Amino acid sequence: MSANRHALRGQMCRHYKDATNDDGHHISAGVEREVPWVAIAPVVRSVRILERIVPEGELLFSAAHHDFQGAKAHHGALKNGTLNRRIDSFVAWANREAVTQGLPQQAIPEDPHGELGMARFRRTLAWHIARRPGGLIALAIQYGHMRTVLDVRTSTGYGARGRRGIHGVLDVETALAAADTAARLRDRMAAGEKISGPAARRAVTGATKAPHFEGRIVPSTFARKAAAYLARDGIVLFDNPDALLICAFKRETALCQPAPNATSPNVLDCRAGCGNMARTDTHASQLRDRADEIDQLAAHAPMHIGNRLRANAARLRQAAVTHAATAETAEALR
């Protein structure tokens, strides 16, 4: 894959819940996932270190090779309790090092929601994945639940299992990302930024009147709140950092061809001229910056590719000019 992303295969990429043979019998040893895990370089380095610690073919977190408190006779992987204690020890070590190295600002603060632990890693991973264009699909792939997403809520599998349901995860992360977008837009409006685009007025309404949403992947009530938050068609705001705009998603005017019951846009198919688009002064500045970057690439590209790159840069600059000519303050749009 690219220099920033790597595909991981092997024992770590096996799934067990739906692993069956040709006769439909469960395979207790699991089978390798068709879709590999996708990871960034630090994860790959960590895996390689673990591979050096344990013998070939052994589990990366084998209890027989990692439990140094007399439990080496145990088989299988380290248990959650042991891993949670390791996390506590790491936090304590990191905080001591921060003080020793004179870097107290890099200490890991106490979490108001409780101790760190394995149960919270899934949510942390989901938070980072879901906040990128195409992140919700990536999230489903990473968790191995692509089928439930393609079934669009018709499946009764994980989609109906409360806090562990992938649809609950997707809804909560989508709602949190939308709430973050609304909060950022409120901050930009408070700082005096102007807004343009056919959905500018709806974006202002969505930012100023959106209810505060906080979610947890615990009881199913949070997933229901997330679904209700996203059901406010027309005023839920989605950031698209690749297109450098905000989508005030409304199904009937969306050009990204959303499903009839969709509550979020297809950001991978964001199209110019969509009635759901809004931009701020920050987006316009980012458009100009990206145009400059593309021009730098064009200067070192073959003629025809360079011409296409320069044309793309010109379109971005024109979008920034259009914003400057049409943008209004939030007060004027209310």
Distance, in Å, from the CA atom of 196 to the CA atom of 201, rounded to the nearest integer, reads 9
pTM attached to this predicted model = 0.59
Distance, in Å, from the CA atom of 312 to the CA atom of 23, rounded to the nearest integer, reads 55
- What pLDDT band is residue 150 in, cutting at 50, 70 and 90? very low
pLDDT over 90 (residue 145) = no
Residue that has been written with the tokens 């195409």 in this structure:
134
Q: Using only C-alpha atoms, what is the Rg of the chain?
A: 24
197-211 pLDDT, tens digit each: 999 999 999 998 876
For residue 278, the surrounding DSSP H or E stretch is: strand 277-280
Instruction: Report the share of the chain in percent with pLDDT over 90.
Output: 37
Pair 313, 294: CB distance under 8 Å: yes
Written as one string, the DSSP assignment of 60-101 is TTBHHHH--SS-TT--SBPPHHHHHHHHHHHHHHHHHHHHHT
